[in-house]
Amino acid sequence: MIIDSHQHFVRLARHPEVEGFRQAQLAGNNPDALPNISDADVQKTLEQVISLMDTRAIDVAFASPRAKAMATHEGTAEQNAIWADLNNSLILRACKLNPGRFVPVGMLGQHPSYPSAQIAKQIERWANDGFAAFNFDPDGTGGRWQGLPFTGKHNYPVFEAAQSLDVPLVLHGSESINKNFPHTAVQYLIADITGFVQLMMAKELFKDFPRLRFLIPHGGGALPCQIGRWRAIGKYNSWASPDEILGNGNVFVDTCVYNDLNMQMLFDAVPLDNILFGSECDGAFPGIINDETKDHYDNTRRYVDDSKLTSAEKDRVYAANARRVYPRASRWIKS
Ligand SMILES: [Zn+2]
C-alpha cells in the first residue's frame, strides 16, 4: 500500500466555472448559485493525476483544494466561508467518483478578522462528511505576515475542533501578493518554516491541546538542513526543541523534497514515525523533468526507493504513518 499524503486537485480548481465564481465574488457580485459542473467534467480534470498515480503505483492520495487559490487574504469572511465550502464540495465529489483512490482534505474560510468559531463549525461539518484533515494557512494575509502568530488564543476554537474531531491541520501557505516571494518557490516554504518555529515558541499550545497534530508539508520546509539551528535556538530561548514537538507526536512532515540528497537528509534529521510519503504530484511543477533521474521531479517515490531505508521502514513512510496520523482516512481506503 502506498499513500500519497500531499496532493491538490489543481486542474479541478482551475475549471473556468470555479475560477469565475471566485472572480465574481471578489468583484462584489456575489453569485446566487454555485457553479454547475458535471461529473464528467470533474473526472476529466483528474485523468492526468490518476494516470500518474497508476504509473507510480500509488494506491491512494490525500487530495485538497489548490493551495494558491485558497487566497483567504482576499474576500470577506462570509465570502471566504462560501469559497471554502465550494472547494470542499468539489473535493468530496471527486473522491466519491473514484472510490478507493482519494481521501478528502479540506480548506477553511480563514480571514484576517479571525472568524474562528465559524471555521470550527466548518471543520465539524466537513469532518462529519468524511474529511480526514484540513489545510490551514499560518499566514492568511497573502504573504504580508501581518497577523498574530497562528498559535495564539484567537485560533483556540479551531484547535479545539481539530483535536476533538481527531483531524490534523496541514500548515500550508497560499498566494503571495509580494512578487519577491513567488508562492510555490518561497511563500510555501516560509509558511513551513514559520509554522514549525511558531510551534516551538508556543509554550502553552500542546499543554492545552496535547492531542493536536500538525503536518508541516514540503519536508518541513528547511527542517532537513536546519534542525541543528533550531535545536540551538530552542535551547537559547527556552522554547520547545524540534525533537520535543516531533517526539511528542504533535508535528509531522511529508517527503515533498525533490532529490536523493535532501530526501536522505530528511530521513537523518526527522524520526521516521514523523514522516509521511507525499509528492504534490501534478501540482507544483507538472511534468518538469529532473535531469538526474530523467523522470518527473515530483515522482518522489524514486527518492524514497533509492534511500537507505529498509523495506519495513519504507512501509512506515509509505502508508502506516499516514493511516495513524489521519485516522479518519480509513473509511476511504480499501484495506
Ligand atoms: Zn501543497
The pLDDT tens digits of the residues spanning 232-264 come to 999 999 999 999 999 999 999 999 999 999 999
Q: Rounded to the nearest whole angstrom, what is the distance from the C-alpha of residue 82 to the centroid of ligand 1?
A: 21
pLDDT of residue 335: 75
Beta-carbon-side half-sphere exposure of residue 94 (alpha carbons within 13 Å): 35
**Long-range Cβ contact pairs of 308-312 (< 8 A, separation 24 or more):** 308/264, 308/267, 309/267, 309/272
Give me ligand 1 centre to Cα 103, in Å. Answer: 15
Q: What is the pLDDT of residues 121-152, one digit of tens each?
A: 999 999 999 999 999 999 999 999 999 999 99
Max intra-chain CA distance, the chain: 57
Distance, in Å, from the CA atom of 97 to the CA atom of 100, rounded to the nearest integer, reads: 10
Whole-number percent of the chain with pLDDT over 70: 100
Contact assessment for residue 90 and residue 37, using Cβ atoms and an 8 Å cutoff: yes
For residue 126, what is its C-alpha cell? 466537513
How sure is the predictor about 270, in pLDDT bands with cuts at 50, 70 and 90?
Answer: very high
pLDDT over 80 (residue 74): yes
pLDDT tens sequence across 86-125 = 999 999 999 999 999 999 999 999 999 999 999 999 999 9
- Residue 32 Cα, ligand 1 centroid: separation in angstroms? 30
The mean per-residue pLDDT over the stretch 206-213 comes to 98
AA letter at 70: M
CA of 236 to the centre of ligand 1 (A): 32
> What are the two backbone dihedrals, phi and then psi, of residue 180, each rounded to the nearest 5 degrees?
-70, -20
Residue 74 CB neighbours (<10 A): 17
- Burial bucket for residue 35 (CB in 10 Å: 0-12, 13-18, 19+): middle
- SS3 for the chain is CCEEEEEECHHHHCCHHHHHHHHHHHCCCCCCCCCCCCHHHHHHHHHHHHHHHHHCCCCEEEEECCCCCCCCCCCCHHHHHHHHHHHHHHHHHHHHHCCCCEEEEECCCCCCCCCHHHHHHHHHHHHHCCCCEEEECCCCCCCCCCCCCCCCHHHHHHHHHHHHCCCCEEECCCCCCCCCCCHHHHHHHHHHHHHHHHHHHCCCHHHHCCCCCEEEHHHHCCHHHHHHHHHHHHHHHCCCCHHHHHHCCCEEEECCCCCHHHHHHHHHHCCHHHEECCCCCCCCCCCCEECCCCEECCCCHHHHHHCCCCHHHHHHHHHHHHHHHCHHHHHHCCC
User: Does the active-site annotation cover 74?
Assistant: no
Confidence category of residue 154, pLDDT binned at 50, 70, 90:
very high
pTM exceeding the 0.95 threshold for the entire prediction: yes
| Model pLDDT for residues 25-55, shown as the tens digit of each residue | 999 999 988 999 999 999 999 999 999 999 9
Of the residues 19, 280, 292, 313, only one is catalytic, namely 280
Other CB atoms within a 10 A radius of the CB of residue 33 amount to 6
pLDDT band at 283 (very low <50, low <70, confident <90, very high): confident
Q: What percent of the chain has pLDDT over 90?
A: 96
The alpha carbon of 171 and the centre of ligand 1 are apart by a number of angstroms equal to: 10
CA distance 116 to 165: 16
d(CA 43, CA 50): 10
Strand duo 102-106 + 275-276: pairing: unpaired
Confidence of residue 284 (pLDDT cuts 50, 70, 90): confident
- Å from CA of 69 to ligand 1 middle: 11
